[in-house]
Amino acid sequence: MDYATMFDLTGRTALVVGGAGGIGRAASAGLAAHGADVVVADLDVAAAQEVAADLTGQGRSATAYELNVLDPQSISRAVDELDPVDVLVLTAAVNVRKRMLDYTSEDFDKVIALNLKSSFEMIRAFGRGMAERGRGSIIAFTSIRSVTVEPGQSAYAATKAALLQVVRTAAAELGPQGVRVNTVAPGVVETPLTQPILDNQEWADAYAAKSALGRWSKPEELAGAVVYLASDAASYVTGTQIFVDGGWTAVDGRYDPPA
């Protein structure tokens, strides 16, 4: 291995789903900075175009693409128009934060559809071509909620735990064809999705104090894990979950003992 170029993604096409969002935007920037031709895919195509324009203005290779991952025809069209894709990054997610007794069937279906079913369908759709070509990297975003929960997170946590198992199964099934499938599990990240928590100072401070680093993360702090998993530096890494959580899942932060 050429250690000087093991993170080089030149010549590879990376499709970032949810690329106009906070984490998706950072992932797109990180991949583009290491030479990938990035497709910024999002339902909000205008926002995707802004991200792509910003990257191309920096001399990177990026294009915008309108994609509705809840629409099977949109996914099929994306395969026809974008494949071959070498790196698939799945960041799109939603959270309906309610106690279980207050949840509706519509709330549940909404979370399951975007967080789990759409990722399953995207892995199937683009994993097929990767398997036929004998290489590829699929990176899905789970969460610390895949392994630890709190009140109000039932459906969201269930989708993230289930997505981890989908990824592990895909890794087992596609590994013999040279396709790697992994997840990145963030802790608390400053994004539009978490803005309601950030607006509540007590709540935001409590979350910051839970991690070993004592703070929230920025979206760009997730980009390194994405670049790593996309690159040859992770050529023997598959079926795993990389926590980028500031030590959240390692530390019992509810009480700071005197000794």
Burial class (CB in 10 A: 0-12, 13-18, 19+), 249: middle
Q: Could you tell me the domains of the chain?
A: 3-241 (3.40.50.720)
pLDDT in tens, 153-174: 999 999 999 999 999 999 999 9
Our separate counts of H helices and E strands in the chain read 9, 7
Please identify which of the residues 28, 137, 143, 231 carries the catalytic annotation: 143
Q: Clarify whether 156 is annotated catalytic.
A: yes
pLDDT higher than threshold 90 for residue 139:
yes
pLDDT in tens, 178-216: 999 999 999 999 998 889 999 999 999 999 999 999 999
Please identify which of the residues 137, 146, 154, 156 carries the catalytic annotation: 156
Q: Clarify whether 143 is annotated catalytic.
A: yes
Please identify which of the residues 28, 119, 137, 160 carries the catalytic annotation: 160
Distance CA 132, CA 61 (A): 25
Distance CA 253, CA 188 (A): 14
What residues have CB less than 8 Å from 91, skipping those under 6 apart? Answer: 16, 17, 18, 19, 21, 23, 24, 27, 141
Pairing of β 62-66 and β 241-244: unpaired
